[in-house]
A and B are shown apart, each in its own frame.
Chain A
Amino acid sequence: MDIRGKSCIAGIYEHPTRKAPDRSLAQLHAEVAAGALADAGLSFSDVDSFYCAGDAPGLGGMSMAEYMGLKLRHIDTTETGGSSYVIHVNHAAAMIAAGKTDVALITLAGRPRSEGMATGTAPRIYDANAPDVGFEAPYGPTVVNMYAMAAMRHMHEFGTTSEQLAWIKVAASTHAQYNEHAMLRDVVTVEDVVNSPMISDPLHRLDCCVISDGGGAIVMTTPEIAKSLGRPIVKYLGGGETIKHLDAGNVDLTYTGARHSGAAAFEESGVKHADIKYASIYDSFTITVLETIEDLGFCEKGQGGKFVSDGNLISGVGKLPFNTDGGGLCNNHPANRGGMTKVLEAVRQVRGEAHPKVQVPNCNIALAHGTGGSIGTRMGSATVIIGQEDA
């Protein structure tokens, strides 16, 4: 079944909060849902399918469907960590094309900051029944040191440097200065990044994303309904997803699942790399961006360090403007899951509704990529390509 162009993103919303001690988790989900529906010109009663992941309170989507009074004929609670919402876009696109739903709602929310979570530096057993856990948790894997081991190996094999990684943060901060909601709005230099405290070799404090409360939501629908709503059309062009893991001990941390999800998205959309005017790239850490850009095919494997340097990711300066909202590195990483905000900024770019200082001219085609789990162990990778009506 060809699903290219058979669905549209009609509504988006990013919660303005970055710290929400005054709101419950369920309330955040409902507020972002209402926000995205209002953006589309729709309401809770129009929704007939709901997509959420492990950040939603209650069992699967049941509690939030009840809270919002949704009447559903399709449900999908695929959980791949931070990339879940990019996968949800892909799944909703297929289900809309198949006629199984007309209005799909995708939500994400969380409050790790209010809950005082040591997101990146505290080892924890997430599930004692996970088959890997006994052979990993005792060794102190944290979010940071797992990504750090990928960076260390990439540096070893390809000569990638901390200064090159730092350029990714420099680009994100250059964009974040224009985002009034961004947590970190100060523009930083390469020197600022490499001179910031070492967290886990070779990743410095400024190689790491923010920890924030908040959330976001997406509404998808049929092209016919989208046209009736009067908002700029953002068409679904193609997507891909995979799970990359340690492969029974055949470990290679220098690439990500983007190698597969990206190729699938380009094939389904028929889009060429040169056609991509803007890319939202998951940026839990600088190394996540660098490996993903290589794996998506924007440069040869191993050349990512050179590619991201000298402002090549800065809007108006470089060849591949990325994360013009400031990304997870500077703006927002709600619930420690950045896939949602990646899609949201790509939609703003295609609509022409990004901040004027970072809006890419004639941004008719954009890409968003999510990475969930860890590039140091096992990850869910998902890519989506979207475009304007004539794309």
Chain B
Amino acid sequence: MPQADYIHPPVNPETKEFWDAAKDHKFLVPRCPDTGKHLWFPRRVSPFTGKTNVEYVPGKGTGVVYTYSVMRRTASPYCIAYVTLDEGPTIMTNIVNVDYDAVKIGMKVKVTFKDLNDEAALPLFEPA
């Protein structure tokens, strides 16, 4: 289960920059330079313009819980959530370092990183 044994994200040429930054505990957010709009999930081709020019820019790493659910039917319960970043996009994540019964929609959260091994780290969110 995520808290104990995370599935490692597959890395590909399109997402390597994002995951390399994550390894250094830096949270990047994709942005379409022509429209100035941030987007999610990371990709190089802008869905707004069709151009291969999406850039990954430093994110604030802050947002609010849009929705969540605590998976109970597992050896190690965990909280999956969508968080709306201050930049705009809503992203899937886990809420950690929290009493699950205290998680609420609208709760302010900030990014934290879980080192999976020397090669990968995963952005997660905790109460701000």
Contacts and interface: CB of A to CB of B under 8 A. Distances in A.
Nearest to B40: A249
B36 to A, nearest CB: 13
Contacts of B11: 134
Contacts, number: 123
A151 to B, nearest CB: 8
Interface in B70-111: 70-74, 78, 80-82, 84-85, 88-94, 105
B122 A152 contact: no
Contact of A134 (B9, B72, B81): B9
A94 B48 CA distance: 32
Q: Which of B10, B15, B39, B122 has the most CB of A within 10 A?
A: B10
Interface stretch (A78-86, A198-206, A227-235, A332-340): A198-206
B9 A137 contact: yes
Interface residues of A, number: 40
A149 B82 contact: yes
Interface string B51-82: 00000000000000011111111100010111
Contact of A152 (B39, B69, B71): B69
Query: DSSP majority for the B interface?
Result: loop
Contact of B91 (A137, A153, A202, A249): A249
A149 B80 CA distance: 8
B73 A133 contact: no
Interface string B1-34: 1100011111110110001000000000000000
A357 interface: no
B67 A153 contact: yes
A251 B85 CA distance: 12
B42 interface: yes
A140 B71 contact: yes
B114 to A, nearest CB: 9
Interface stretch (A121-129, A169-177, A182-190, A361-369): A121-129
B88 to A, nearest CB: 7
A136 interface: yes
Nearest to A133: B10
Interface in A194-243: 197-203
16 contacts: A131-B14, A134-B9, A135-B40, A135-B92, A136-B41, A152-B68, A152-B69, A153-B67, A200-B69, A201-B68, A201-B69, A248-B47, A249-B39, A250-B89, A251-B90, A253-B82
Interface of B: 1-2, 6-12, 14-15, 19, 37-43, 47-48, 66-74, 78, 80-82, 84-85, 88-94, 105, 122
Interface of A: 121, 123, 125, 128-129, 131-142, 144-146, 148-150, 152-153, 156, 197-203, 246, 248-251, 253, 377
